[in-house]
Amino acid sequence: MADNMLVTYGVPLVLLILSPFIGGILIGIDRKVTARLQNRAGPPIVQPFYDVLKLFGKEDKIVNKTYLVFGSAYFLTVILSLGLLLFRYDLLITTFTFGLSFIFLVLAGYSTRSQFGYVGATRELMQMLTYEPILLFTVFLVRLVTGSFEINSIYNAAQPLLFALPLALLAIFVILPIKARKSPFDIAEAHQEIAQGPETEYSGKFLGLLYLTHFFELFFILWFVGLFYVKDLPVAGFVIPGIAMQVLLMLIAYVFLIVVDNATARLRVDQMLKQVFILGMILLILNLAYIIVTGRWIA
Partner 1 sequence: MSLTELARKKSPWVIHVGSGGCNGCDLEILACLTPRYDASRFGVVSTGNPKHADIMLVVGPVTLKYKEIIKNLYDQMPDPKVVIAVGTCASTGGIYQGCYGHCGSVDRVLPVDVYVPGCNVRPEAVIDGLVLALDILNEKERKILEDKRSKAKGAA
In the complex, the residues that contact partner 1 under the rule CB under 8 A are 35, 38-44, 47, 49-54, 56-61, 191-192, 195-196, 200-204, 207
Pairwise CA distance, residues 262 & 267, whole Å: 14
Nearer to partner 1, 56 or 290 (CB): 56
| CB closer to partner 1 out of 8 and 193 | 193
Question: To the nearest whole angstrom, how small is the minimum distance from the Cβ of residue 206 to partner 1?
Answer: 11
Q: How many angstroms separate the Cα of 85 from the Cα of each of 56, 178, 182, 289?
A: 28, 20, 23, 28
Nearer to partner 1 by C-beta: 207 or 284?
Answer: 207
Q: What span, in angstroms and rounded, lies between the C-alpha atoms of 113 and 232? A: 52
Q: What SS3 class is residue 40? A: coil
Shortest Å, Cβ 193 to partner 1:
9
CB of residue 151 to partner 1, shortest distance in Å: 37
Cβ-based neighbours of 97, under 8 Å, separated by 6 or more = 77, 80, 81, 84
CA-nearest of 223, 229, 218 to 165 is 229
Whose Cβ is closer to partner 1: residue 113's or residue 274's?
Answer: 113
Q: Are 86 and 229 in contact (CB under 8 A)?
A: no
Residue 199 CB, shortest distance to partner 1, in Å, is 8
The CB-of-69 to partner 1 minimum distance in angstroms stands at 18
